Chains A and B, each alone.
Chain A
Amino acid sequence: AQKVTQAQTEISVVEKEDVTLDCVYETRDTTYYLFWYKQPPSGELVFLIRRNSFDEQNEISGRYSWNFQKSTSSFNFTITASQVVDSAVYFCALSEVISNFGNEKLTFGTGTRLTIIP
């Protein structure tokens, strides 16, 4: 069975500080994808990133960066120079392919509520 663990329930940092959100996953699949989603107060989940299990290169997108380490089954997310607009609940998710079309069923972690204090 697949499992995603986000041990940090809530994090608060002062604006402009860097913050890292942890994600640890379990799967028996050799091919899988990892995701991060942001859920602002409006409730709509917003896609941030999708990584293939064969690609362990770190990725940077603006103030966001992701560190994927297969050896420790972790996919951590760092926000640099945090801003108040970054305040949200962040979910890490792991996929399981469920169709010949490549569609995926996501298993989500319980989320980390990030509060940026102005």
Chain B
Amino acid sequence: GAGVSQTPSNKVTEKGKYVELRCDPISGHTALYWYRQSLGQGPEFLIYFQGTGAADDSGLPNDRFFAVRPEGSVSTLKIQRTERGDSAVYLCASSLGVTGNSGELFFGEGSRLTVL
């Protein structure tokens, strides 16, 4: 499709396991963002990529979280040694990433992570 695609849509894992969440942004969008949304809360910023580089990773909660975007398109959010508190919906968004654009972020439907 033409929108932001996230896989898997649902992931259930056990405490201590490693997970990867994938985001395929809209073609041509150079800016990519990861947000995390806990139940009943608004999305919280995790990391922002401009092209291949992580321009701002100030929202990553700790060093168990890492994200890559090696070719400037698809991004993978990696979580090591998962904890129950990591359970949330992980949202990916992309934008044109150029000055003067509308500022509109296009969001995917999210990956729901449940850590048992």
Q: Which residues of chain A are near B110, meaning CB under 8 Å?
A: 43-44
Bitwise, A17-31 to B at CB < 8 A (1) or not (0) is 000000000000000
Contact between B55 and A99, CB atoms less than 8 A apart? yes
| Interchain CB contact (< 8 A) of B99 among A43, A45, A101 | A101
Q: Complex: how many Å from CA A44 to CA B37?
A: 12
A27 to B105, alpha carbons, bound, how many Å?
21
* Residue contacts A-B, CB under 8 angstroms, 10 given: A4-B42, A44-B110, A45-B43, A46-B107, A91-B42, A101-B97, A102-B99, A102-B101, A106-B35, A108-B42
CB distance from A81 to the nearest CB of B (A): 25
Q: Size of chain B's interface in residues, with CB distance under 8 A? A: 34
Binding site for B on A (CB under 8 A): 4, 33, 35, 37, 42-47, 50, 91, 93, 95, 98-111
- In the docked arrangement, what's the CA distance between A51 and B103, Å? 10
Provided the pairs A44-B107, A101-B31 are in contact, do residues A110 and B41 lie with their beta carbons within 8 angstroms? yes
The minimal Cβ–Cβ distance linking A77 to chain B, given in whole angstroms, is 15
What is the CB-to-nearest-CB distance from A61 to chain B, in angstroms, rounded to a whole number? 13
